[in-house]
Chain A
Amino acid sequence: MSSATDAPAPPAIELRGITKRFPGVVANRDVHLSVARGEVHALVGENGAGKSTLMKTLYGMHVPEEGTISVDGDVVTLRSPGDAIGHGIGMVHQHFMLADNFTVLENVVLGSEPHRGPRLDVDESRRRILEISDRYGLGLRPDAVVEDLSVADRQRVEIAKVLFRGARVLILDEPTAVLVPQEVDALFANLAELRREGLSVVFVSHKLDEVRAVADRITVLRRGTTVGTVDAGAVTSRQLAELMVGSELPVAERAASTVTDEVGLAVRGLTVERGGRRLLDDVSFEVHRGEVVGFAGVEGNGQSELVEALLGVLAPTAGTVELGGEDITRTSTLRRRGAGMAFVPEDRHRQALLLEAPLWENRLLGHQGSAPAGGRFLVHPRAAREQTARIMAEWDVRAPGVEVRAGALSGGNQQKLVIGREMEARPKVLVAAHPTRGVDVGAQSSIWGRLRDARAEGLATVLVSADLDELIGLSDVLHVMLRGRVVATLDPRDVTPEVLGTYMTGAAGDAGAPTGEDRP
């Protein structure tokens, strides 16, 4: 089939002059993107640059105010995903759109079901799914229930969904965000198959090394507009990064160690068993004051359970947790917070904020029992408002005032408020889960800086994250979790994301030079 440099054939997809506005902001401005047949084309930009918005336009999820979209040289109007599908465009979303209680088959055919009259033709569906699975090496099992599948398997179901509908152009939105390096390789092999069959792929990502490994050409988006299109072979990651940010990148400095001898948090033999399965299996570790202990692992291997057990939301089956020498294994969340534990959760909307309440009430959340804003019986709105204003000033939370609904703030500002609120209580131990997820780069580096400052002042931090750079950059020691156990303890100075990935998927055996508790 035609390769990326075959000039005469019209591009599979061409976006010209796309501008998309939302109330009060311009998400995309004069964007140009051209993807050839049989090409893997990457779209890169930092968090918040407008990549997802652009892809949603391409998929017909909203209509741009200006600009045109062409498919195979013909200008088209896309008013719904149905239109996009009709033109052969398929999208694999970053957050999977799957019905957990349905089977793979049901998820794949939904909306385009093979049928005989009103009846769903299950046999035909199965035949076609298996055909696609074989052709592109997806390994699908049509009757498996999606809930039981791993993340990588679910992604392949999403890919099958678009192929089933005859997509010739696939949009993959941050597909590797949830995969470890080994699964990423498997995905890239699938993409190579697609390219061989003449399909085009638009690969949206902010992970530059991966992008250079798999893409033919790369388009960079910055602040909502295209900065340029380059050949993947002709640039370095650093050059790409500078294109993305528009200036010199800060280097991740490893500060001097601030680890003290004093143990802030001690966990021994922590086990959580539910329904016969061990979600946490005999986990033991210590966090000293002035230390950041990082936990790496593929989602679903016990990190969430660890966080919830530390917080007191999940009751452990065995093991102890000690805060500053005091046994808190059986104490309530309330008491743990009172004893000096702070918590930054992974999903701030669900776990840390009251979206419909004003900011000052959100300041109280988690601290409604502590003076001066809270108390044993009464709460004090005026004191709460003052404190909130102070937090906002100190942590650079940008909002018109303390009466604003928390839901109106951007992700970065919400996160800064949550962290500021937790740190305000001068905690001894901080449990932070994915603290910069979905946060723009400016807020991200500011949060990292504050976490480092707090560490220098003696804070003991438990850091759980899927962002390997964040883990390696912030942690003093790294534990890797797999199937509920700590399988490796590593020195962040000695690891790269690739090595970390091998431990996370259990492919490491006893490679590397870990210290302490290494389990076969």
Chain B
Amino acid sequence: MTAVRRLGAALAPPAVAVLIALAITALLLTVLGVDAGTALRALVDFGGSAQGQANQLRTLLSGAVPLFLAGVAVSVAFRMNLFNIGVEGQYRVATVCAAYVGGELALPMPLHVLVIVLVAMLAGAAYAAVPAVLKVTRGVNEVITTIMLNSIAVGLAAYLVAGPFRDSTAGEGGNPTTRPLGESARLPGFQDSFLLLGLQPPTRPVTGFLVVAVVVGVVVALLVSRTRFGFELRASGANPTAAVASGIPAKAMVLRAMLLSGALAGLVGLPELLSEDYSYGTSFTSGLGFTGIAVALLGRNSVPGIAVAALLFSFLDRAGPSLETQGIPPSVSTIIQGTVVLTVVVVNEVAARLLARREDRRVRGRTEPAAVPAAAAQQGEGRA
């Protein structure tokens, strides 16, 4: 298959899934007495004024960054058939640790940010090590352990921020937070650069972490497709028995994949920390881990796909206020997101089967002309 055809084949299922999801949602809305047309129009409404539009674009881009990172984190584990549902808890733990360390330290700008990023990645990896070790030593299914750890993370973080990690410089009363980051840790963003695109600068900048996200994306994509580790990762996911027989150490791979996934998960909370909140507290946005799973599924575990999916989900998220002004329940966007996830996995499966059958036919039809029945009977007899 040529590159263009392959690209088309890769894009088609998610695109089809999105369309189906929109259709189902429209149907659902009509059945429940909501005006589907108004809802869909409100979805794409970017606002009347140029300033409003720029702001919406800013929200879209800034919102997509953590979703992208979460999706990449989930996808690395997914490649090995490991379900890291624990991204949610991992980024919470990572953020509270990074916020604490960042707040207590004072270092020159690049170093300060670097330390925060490192702490976040280490904390995320460490928290992901728990389900990994349990799986490797006790054979415990990682789906349930990671979900339990998500809930434990909520309590753990709450305890830490109210206790040892609490901002010592703040007074009593009010909600506990970690010490706010100093100026040297506050990441500049993209604001005036909007002028380059012929748009008004938004009132708040797009997070500078966007750069980091792009770098992470490129690195992970190369890692998976071009390195030996990436090959072993994919092989272990596709056929664990064959991978072991070919020399790939199964347990070590599980650990490596989960640790990498956890480290990447640790980055998910940083855009918010470094560009908006500057501390960990009640303003912490949760739920990104779960959306990350949806993004990874929609993006079919490939970095470019995840990027598009993240933008799509962020696009749907920011439609909330405009839906509300039109009198439509803002959770319509959540419905679309949920439906998209389900339809995309179904469409993926159907597409994979169709492709496999077509290829089977192509191969069988062209090979072994003298022993044509032999090949077919192999299929019937079961190729042992």
Name A's B-contacting residues (CB within 8 A): 21-29, 47-53, 56, 94-95, 223-225, 311-313, 332-337, 343, 345, 347, 349-357, 361, 364-369, 374-379, 381, 398-400, 403-405, 407-414, 437-438, 440, 442
Which A-chain residue is minimally distant from B375 (CB atoms)? A410
Which A-chain residue is minimally distant from B366 (CB atoms)? A400
* A378 and B378 within 8 A (CB): no
* A378 and B371 within 8 A (CB): no
Q: Can you give 7 contacting A-B residue pairs, CB < 8 Å?
A: A25-B376, A27-B377, A369-B247, A410-B375, A414-B383, A438-B382, A438-B384
Q: How far is the CB of A357 from chain B (nearest CB, A)?
A: 6
**A residues near B245, Cβ cutoff 8 Å:** 311, 313, 333, 343, 345, 351-352, 366
Which B-chain residue is minimally distant from A442 (CB atoms)? B371
Which B-chain residue is minimally distant from A356 (CB atoms)? B238
Knowing A22-B379, A224-B377 touch, does A350 contact B241 (C-beta < 8 A)?
yes
**A residues near B375, Cβ cutoff 8 Å:** 25, 48, 410
Please name 20 further chain A to chain B contacts, defined as beta carbons within 8 Å, in addition to the given A354-B239, A361-B231, sorted by A numbering.
Answer: A22-B380, A23-B361, A24-B361, A24-B364, A48-B374, A48-B377, A48-B378, A50-B380, A53-B377, A95-B384, A313-B244, A333-B247, A333-B249, A337-B247, A364-B231, A367-B246, A379-B226, A403-B1, A408-B360, A411-B383
Most chain A beta-carbon contacts within 10 A, residue among B1, B368, B371, B374? B374
Q: Which 4 A-B pairs have the closest CB atoms?
A: A25-B376, A224-B373, A48-B374, A334-B247
How far, in angstroms, from A45 to B212 measured CA to CA in the complex? Answer: 64
* A51 and B377 within 8 A (CB): yes
**A residues near B249, Cβ cutoff 8 Å:** 332-334
Q: How far is the CB of A377 from chain B (nearest CB, A)?
A: 6
* B373 and A440 within 8 A (CB): no
Any A CB within 8 A of the CB of B195: no
Any A CB within 8 A of the CB of B11: no
Selected from B242, B365, B380, the residue in CB contact (under 8 A) with A365 is B242
Selected from A335, A336, A437, the residue in CB contact (under 8 A) with B384 is A437
How many residues belonging to B are interface residues under a CB distance threshold of 8 Å?
47
* B368 and A23 within 8 A (CB): no
Selected from A22, A349, A355, A405, the residue in CB contact (under 8 A) with B376 is A22
Which B-chain residue is minimally distant from A375 (CB atoms)? B228
* B247 and A23 within 8 A (CB): no
Which A-chain residue is minimally distant from B240 (CB atoms)? A350
Selected from A56, A335, A349, A350, the residue in CB contact (under 8 A) with B380 is A56
**B residues near A22, Cβ cutoff 8 Å:** 364, 376, 379-380
* B371 and A223 within 8 A (CB): yes
Interface of A is mostly: loop
**B residues near A336, Cβ cutoff 8 Å:** 247
Any A CB within 8 A of the CB of B357: yes
Any A CB within 8 A of the CB of B30: no
* A223 and B357 within 8 A (CB): no
* B239 and A404 within 8 A (CB): no
How far, in angstroms, from A355 to B361 measured CA to CA in the complex? Answer: 15
Interface residues of B in 204-252 (CB under 8 A from A): 226-232, 234-235, 238-239, 241-249
**B residues near A414, Cβ cutoff 8 Å:** 383
How far, in angstroms, from A28 to B238 measured CA to CA in the complex? Answer: 34
* B232 and A368 within 8 A (CB): yes
* A366 and B246 within 8 A (CB): yes
A-contact 0/1 string along B346-384, CB 8 Å cutoff = 000000000011011111111110011111111111111
**A residues near B371, Cβ cutoff 8 Å:** 48, 223, 440, 442
Interchain Cβ contacts within 8 Å, total number: 194
* B228 and A376 within 8 A (CB): yes
* A53 and B380 within 8 A (CB): yes
**B residues near A347, Cβ cutoff 8 Å:** 384
Which B-chain residue is minimally distant from A45 (CB atoms)? B377
Q: How far is the CB of A358 from chain B (nearest CB, A)?
A: 10
* A355 and B380 within 8 A (CB): no
**A residues near B364, Cβ cutoff 8 Å:** 22-25, 408, 410
Which A-chain residue is minimally distant from B244 (CB atoms)? A313
Knowing A352-B245, A404-B363 touch, does A378 contact B377 (C-beta < 8 A)?
no
Q: How far is the CB of B136 from chain A (nearest CB, A)?
A: 16
Q: How far is the CB of A467 from chain B (nearest CB, A)?
A: 12
How far, in angstroms, from A225 to B246 measured CA to CA in the complex? Answer: 40
**B residues near A399, Cβ cutoff 8 Å:** 363, 367
Q: How far is the CB of A242 from chain B (nearest CB, A)?
A: 18
How far, in angstroms, from A400 to B360 measured CA to CA in the complex? Answer: 11
How far, in angstroms, from A494 to B238 measured CA to CA in the complex? Answer: 45
How far, in angstroms, from A48 to B375 measured CA to CA in the complex? Answer: 7
How far, in angstroms, from A95 to B379 measured CA to CA in the complex? Answer: 14
Knowing A343-B245, A379-B231, A398-B368 touch, does A26 contact B376 (C-beta < 8 A)?
yes
Which B-chain residue is minimally distant from A338 (CB atoms)? B247
Interface of B is mostly: helix
* B246 and A377 within 8 A (CB): no
Which B-chain residue is minimally distant from A414 (CB atoms)? B383
**B residues near A225, Cβ cutoff 8 Å:** 373
Q: How far is the CB of A466 from chain B (nearest CB, A)?
A: 11
Knowing A366-B247, A399-B367, A400-B362 touch, does A53 contact B374 (C-beta < 8 A)?
no
Q: How far is the CB of A364 from chain B (nearest CB, A)?
A: 6
Q: How far is the CB of A316 from chain B (nearest CB, A)?
A: 16
Knowing A23-B360, A334-B249 touch, does A351 contact B241 (C-beta < 8 A)?
yes
How far, in angstroms, from A409 to B366 measured CA to CA in the complex? Answer: 11
**A residues near B226, Cβ cutoff 8 Å:** 378-379, 381
Interface residues of B in 177-218 (CB under 8 A from A): none
How far, in angstroms, from A335 to B248 measured CA to CA in the complex? Answer: 10
Selected from B242, B247, B366, B373, the residue in CB contact (under 8 A) with A48 is B373
Knowing A351-B242, A365-B242, A377-B227 touch, does A49 contact B377 (C-beta < 8 A)?
yes
Which B-chain residue is minimally distant from A413 (CB atoms)? B367
How far, in angstroms, from A345 to B239 measured CA to CA in the complex? Answer: 14
Q: How far is the CB of A378 from chain B (nearest CB, A)?
A: 5
Knowing A25-B376, A223-B374, A378-B226 touch, does A410 contact B247 (C-beta < 8 A)?
no
Q: How far is the CB of A58 from chain B (nearest CB, A)?
A: 12
Knowing A343-B245, A378-B226 touch, does A350 contact B239 (C-beta < 8 A)?
yes
Which B-chain residue is minimally distant from A334 (CB atoms)? B247
Q: How far is the CB of A110 from chain B (nearest CB, A)?
A: 21
How far, in angstroms, from A335 to B249 measured CA to CA in the complex? Answer: 11
Q: How far is the CB of B20 from chain A (nearest CB, A)?
A: 24
Knowing A333-B247, A400-B362, A404-B359 touch, does A354 contact B235 (C-beta < 8 A)?
yes
* A333 and B239 within 8 A (CB): no
Selected from B228, B235, B373, B382, the residue in CB contact (under 8 A) with A378 is B228
How far, in angstroms, from A451 to B83 measured CA to CA in the complex? Answer: 43
Most chain A beta-carbon contacts within 10 A, residue among B230, B246, B359, B379? B246
Q: How far is the CB of B153 from chain A (nearest CB, A)?
A: 34
Selected from B227, B244, B246, B373, the residue in CB contact (under 8 A) with A25 is B373
Knowing A355-B239, A410-B375 touch, does A95 contact B382 (C-beta < 8 A)?
yes
* B367 and A398 within 8 A (CB): yes
How far, in angstroms, from A398 to B357 measured CA to CA in the complex? Answer: 18
Q: How far is the CB of A374 from chain B (nearest CB, A)?
A: 6
Knowing A29-B373, A365-B246, A368-B228 touch, does A24 contact B365 (C-beta < 8 A)?
yes
**B residues near A412, Cβ cutoff 8 Å:** 378
Selected from B238, B376, B377, the residue in CB contact (under 8 A) with A357 is B238
How far, in angstroms, from A412 to B376 measured CA to CA in the complex? Answer: 12
* A405 and B247 within 8 A (CB): no
**B residues near A361, Cβ cutoff 8 Å:** 231
**B residues near A440, Cβ cutoff 8 Å:** 371, 374, 378
How far, in angstroms, from A399 to B366 measured CA to CA in the complex? Answer: 8
* A409 and B373 within 8 A (CB): no
How far, in angstroms, from A48 to B235 measured CA to CA in the complex? Answer: 30
* A49 and B376 within 8 A (CB): no
Which A-chain residue is minimally distant from B247 (CB atoms)? A334
Knowing A378-B226, A400-B362, A405-B359 touch, does A333 contact B244 (C-beta < 8 A)?
yes
How far, in angstroms, from A352 to B368 measured CA to CA in the complex? Answer: 23
**A residues near B381, Cβ cutoff 8 Å:** 47-48, 51-53, 94, 438
